[in-house]
């Protein structure tokens, strides 16, 4: 027998409640928790001498529970005469406990008769929507509450706080000289979860009546151990409540459902009162494997969150498989936050991680995994602002091999490394050890294959000219200058602030063979073509500022017909055009390929396995795989000479993949 309403509109109908209590009989029905779960909060706001009115009491035992604990001045009212008769028959020796059949919208009490009015689910029942008719009804309800409540008295409302209810509460009580406070009642949610029910967030709203209130007072406490927080606006309150409700819905859904056939679930965790996220959580499922553990949490060390295994959906799926779990909560740490230790983070996250576990977790214990016992190291070296790129940060990160890397991030896309360089220790002429950027170490793997194509374009030429559109930290240009010291290299960037970053933080040094030019890359290409200038190699390694779009590299305007026509003029029949393409929407790839084929006779592509990068090598002259093979050998020799064998290329694998993806017109 289903005793819950079939639709939320039924909550406000008198006939529904009469029928409800007839079916229910004498068994108490508790909306949003019983007295034991609510008592911790109620005792803070209800004193034993208070005159208490419980509106819409239903057949809840709340009035009896309070009376038995010494609260002697309690009046209960309900619109249903059926339930009032039931409660009066159960009153026993509680002679001073009052139960009255009365409409809360038209009460017969004197003005300012009560010091506390307690509403446990009644507002939610009366306000199923925000229609004009409902709003008029609720205004009348609140006017009655305000009338019978004493100055200094509290209206205490236990509610699920749907958004239309919260908005009206905020508007009404702020305009009528009430201090407004919301506390989340975790005890009720825990009890619901223990009973196998969906734990819906339960909130206690406390509105304190003043004769006059000189300013709006909005307070909120959403954590069991948090302090009361003052909010600046109604929207701030609504946002925090909505976030808490959404998170609870996510946790409840994840307990019951596998998302192996869907996208991962992602959300941020904030400290109360903070606008900056402290953690980001990715919940990832794979199809269940019998020999895998059910669930664990994986803490990504600080600074490592940008690596493929942690920063991409495919990488995170791979991590779940590698750790041999069917579900993993992958947790990344944020810059501008302090983390004491792995153990401290584990303690901080235990409740959240447990709430994301599947309901059938066998031992109810959740393991915490990481790359080691260290939370990682992130050293912010510089924070700056660019008129074109916005706020940016330069930071040094130490990896698990105790190697240090310097990285440039735009704050608008904090998980995307704009430039990266490995740091090494050298001895100065005075014998002093100092840290410097290693210019022969390529940290960006796609630069390796762009360098092979550049060698192919410039080999055996006495005076070769190469332009890289997209200077960034200057890593590719600096490396090419070391690898091919006889060629002329120009790095073009639209942002003058990035050139300063490259010089000050990434050891970019101009000389007679290496130059930088601050200019819009599109304008540079257009002027080069107009003036009849040519290059042996033109490289596009330019990033879009918007990483939410389908193709974030290069910006779409760099792949238009007009731009590619100018590129063809610049590299003529002998030169090579190399473009680094990053697609977040693979459906765009055929269009990119067709566009390149329409302008170049030969188009080769190489897709990096662990990145989104795909390198396209294009020419209207011949591109011989044997010469690409020689170019890769030369690059490997260069790396070997500098003790960087790990940077080298598996030539056979590279050529096989390249040939398999080549397109020849």
Q: Which residue has the higher pLDDT, 17 or 632?
A: 632
CA distance 127 to 170: 15
Please report where in the chains the tokens 């302008």 appear, as a residue. 599
d(CA 536, CA 528): 13
For residue 31, the model assigns a pLDDT of 54
- Write down the pLDDT at residue 29: 45
**Averaged pLDDT, 363-368:** 80
pLDDT over 90 at 504, yes or no: yes
**Superfamily designation of domain 8-249:** Vaccinia Virus protein VP39 (3.40.50.150)
Total residue count of the chain as it appears in this document:
665
Instruction: List, for residues 97-140, the tens digit of each pLDDT value.
Output: 999 999 999 999 999 999 999 999 899 999 989 999 999 999 99
Per-residue confidence (pLDDT) for residue 16, from 0 to 100: 52
The yes-or-no verdict on residue 12 having pLDDT over 70 is: no
pLDDT above 70 (res 621): yes
pLDDT band at 4 (very low <50, low <70, confident <90, very high): very low
Task: Tell whether domain 445-664 is in CATH 3.40.50.620.
Answer: no
3-state secondary structure of 491: strand
Q: Which pLDDT value is given to residue 336?
A: 80
Residue among 189, 184, 160, 242 nearest 354 (CA) = 189
- pLDDT, residue 7, reads 41
State yes or no: pLDDT of 217 exceeds 70: yes
| pLDDT tier at 6, thresholds 50, 70, 90 | very low
**Residue 665's pLDDT is what?**
41
In the numeric block, which tokens belong to residue 386? 């660019």
Can you give 242-300 as a three-state secondary structure string? Answer: HHHHHHHHHHHHHHHCCCCCCCCEEEEEECCCCCCEEEEEEEEECCCCCCCEEEEEEEE
Q: Name residues whose C-beta falls within 8 Å of residue 147's C-beta, 6 or more positions apart in sequence.
A: 107, 111, 112
- Yes or no: say if 410 and 389 are a contact pair by the CB < 8 Å rule: yes
Cis before 554 (ω within 30): yes
State the alpha helices, DSSP H only, in 405-495: 445-458, 475-483
Q: Where are the domains of the chain?
A: 8-249, 257-369, 445-664
Query: pLDDT digits over 21-67, tens only?
Result: 465 455 544 557 677 888 888 999 999 999 999 999 988 889 999 99
Domains 8-249 and 445-664 share a fold: yes
């Amino acid at each position: 027998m289903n005793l819950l309403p079939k639709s939320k509109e039924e909550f406000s109908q008198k006939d529904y409640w009469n029928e409800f209590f007839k079916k229910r009989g004498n068994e108490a029905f508790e909306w949003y928790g019983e007295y034991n779960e609510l008592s911790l909060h109620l005792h803070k706001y209800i004193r034993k001498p208070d005159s208490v009115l419980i509106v819409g009491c239903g057949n809840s035992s709340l009035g009896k529970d309070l009376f038995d604990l010494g609260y002697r001045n309690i009046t209960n009212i309900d619109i249903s005469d059926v339930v009032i008769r039931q409660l009066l028959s159960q009153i026993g020796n509680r002679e001073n406990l009052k139960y009255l059949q009365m409409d809360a919208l038209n009460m017969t009490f004197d003005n300012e008769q009560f010091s506390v009015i307690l509403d446990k689910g009644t507002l939610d029942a009366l306000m199923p929507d925000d229609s004009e008719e409902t709003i008029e009804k609720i205004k009348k309800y609140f006017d009655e509450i305000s009338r019978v409540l004493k100055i200094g008295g509290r209206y205490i409302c236990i509610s699920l706080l749907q958004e239309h209810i919260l908005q009206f509460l905020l508007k009404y009580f702020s305009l009528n000289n009430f201090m407004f406070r919301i506390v989340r009642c975790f005890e009720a949610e825990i009890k619901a979860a223990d009973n196998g029910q969906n734990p819906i967030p339960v909130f206690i709203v406390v509105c304190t009546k003043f004769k006059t209130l000189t300013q709006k007072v909005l307070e909120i406490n959403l954590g069991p151990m948090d302090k009361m927080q003052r909010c600046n606006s109604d929207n701030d309150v609504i946002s925090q409540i909505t976030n808490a409700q959404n998170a609870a819905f996510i946790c409840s859904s994840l307990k019951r459902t596998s998302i192996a056939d869907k996208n991962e679930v992602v959300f941020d965790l904030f400290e109360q009162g903070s606008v900056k996220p402290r953690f980001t959580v990715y919940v990832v499922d794979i199809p269940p494997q019998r020999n895998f553990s059910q669930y664990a949490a994986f803490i990504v060390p600080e600074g490592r969150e940008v690596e493929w295994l942690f920063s991409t959906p495919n990488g995170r799926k791979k991590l779940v498989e590698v750790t041999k779990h069917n579900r993993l909560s992958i947790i990344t740490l944020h810059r501008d936050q302090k983390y004491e230790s792995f153990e401290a983070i584990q303690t901080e996250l235990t409740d959240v991680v447990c709430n994301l576990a599947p309901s059938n977790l066998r031992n109810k214990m959740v393991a915490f995994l990481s790359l080691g016992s260290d939370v990682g190291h992130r050293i912010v070296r510089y924070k700056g602002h660019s008129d074109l790129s916005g706020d940016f940060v330069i930071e040094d990160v130490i990896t698990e091999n105790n190697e240090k890397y310097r990285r440039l991030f735009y704050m608008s896309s904090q998980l995307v490394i704009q430039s990266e360089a490995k740091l090494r220790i050298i001895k100065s002429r005075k014998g002093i050890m100092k840290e410097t950027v290693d210019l022969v170490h390529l940290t960006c793997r796609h630069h390796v294959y762009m360098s092979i194509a550049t060698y192919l374009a410039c080999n055996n030429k006495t005076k070769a000219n190469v332009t890289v559109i997209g200077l960034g930290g200057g890593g590719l240009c600096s490396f090419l200058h070391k690898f091919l010291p006889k060629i002329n290299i120009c790095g073009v960037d639209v942002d003058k602030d990035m050139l300063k970053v490259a010089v000050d933080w990434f050891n970019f040094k101009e000389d007679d063979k290496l130059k930088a030019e601050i200019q819009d890359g599109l304008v540079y290409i257009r002027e080069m073509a107009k003036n009849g200038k040519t290059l042996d190699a033109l490289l596009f390694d330019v990033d879009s500022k918007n990483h939410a779009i389908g193709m974030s590299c290069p910006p779409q305007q760099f792949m238009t017909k007009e731009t590619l026509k100018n590129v063809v003029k610049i590299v003529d029949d002998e030169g090579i055009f190399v473009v680094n393409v990053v697609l977040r929407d693979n459906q765009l790839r055929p269009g990119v390929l067709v566009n390149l084929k329409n302008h170049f006779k030969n188009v080769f592509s190489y897709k990096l396995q662990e990145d989104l990068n795909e390198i396209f090598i294009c020419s209207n002259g011949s591109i011989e795989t044997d010469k690409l093979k020689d170019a890769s050998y030369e690059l490997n020799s260069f790396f070997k000479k500098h003790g960087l064998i790990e940077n080298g290329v598996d030539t056979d694998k590279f050529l096989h993949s390249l040939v398999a993806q080549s397109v020849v017109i």
